[in-house]
């Protein structure tokens, strides 16, 4: 490499860093990022920092971002999932019909342990997967099935004809090592399951390792910055 080549390479690197700085600055100054039905504020984006608990808006964004690649799969938003969780079977049938759930192969729900309409939020996320062809519900929980009873109650409220109300199986999955990564595990598990689905292999054949979960926050930040740069 010549002196000029080295100088050009250095300038290119500095230019990339400057562009990244501008993108991050834009997120901070703009205060919000929109994607389809998701709208993230700067406060939401801060929750992607290590040690933070992901809220429904970040999980909803991730589900919408993932879903584009899988037209035969339905990733239900946290808000709609909570509506189903707290509503009647009739409400569930109406909501799922409006989402064309009966035309899908898989339906994924991000479950929250909040079961009281008068309370805000909750303390734990888990993932419920309904395999339409198999007529089977599966529950993946990164905290020793903490949400299993919530999952069982949720399935009983689903009144679509092809859902067996009490047929819920718990699936072994990677367990979180802290008290705040449950939302990250929901997103990663959804990613791995849909990847297996696209390859035509058993849905739970591989669910990744600790490394894939560890880097998911960085991947989400990168995806958001990419959207801003387009």
Return the active site residues: 124, 141, 182
**Nearest-5° angle of CA 164, CA 67, CA 25?**
140
Among candidate residues 35, 30, 15, 21, the one with its CA nearest the CA of residue 224: 35
Q: How far apart are CA 110 and CA 112, in angstroms?
A: 7
Q: Rounded distance, CA 88 to CA 226, Å?
A: 40
């Amino acid at each position: 490499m010549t002196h000029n080549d080295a100088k050009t390479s250095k300038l290119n690197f500095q230019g990339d860093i400057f562009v990244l700085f501008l993108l991050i600055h834009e997120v901070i100054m703009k205060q919000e990022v929109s994607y389809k039905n998701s709208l993230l504020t700067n406060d939401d984006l801060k929750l992607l920092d290590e040690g933070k608990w992901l809220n429904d808006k970040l999980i909803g964004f991730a589900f919408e971002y993932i879903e584009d690649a899988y037209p035969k799969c339905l990733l239900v938003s946290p808000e709609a999932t909570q509506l189903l969780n707290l509503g009647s079977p009739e409400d569930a049938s109406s909501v799922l019909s409006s989402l064309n759930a009966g035309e899908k192969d898989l339906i994924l729900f991000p479950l929250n342990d909040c079961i009281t309409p008068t309370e805000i939020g909750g303390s734990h996320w888990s993932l419920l997967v309904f395999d339409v062809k198999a007529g089977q519900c599966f529950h993946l929980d990164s905290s020793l099935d903490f949400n299993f009873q919530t999952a069982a109650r949720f399935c009983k409220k689903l009144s679509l004809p092809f859902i067996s109300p009490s047929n819920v199986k718990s699936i072994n999955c990677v367990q979180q090592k802290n008290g705040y990564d449950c939302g990250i595990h929901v997103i990663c598990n959804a990613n791995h399951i849909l990847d297996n689905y696209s390859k035509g292999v058993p849905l739970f054949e591989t669910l990744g390792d600790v490394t894939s979960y560890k880097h998911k926050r960085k991947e989400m930040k990168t995806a958001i910055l990419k959207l801003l740069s387009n």
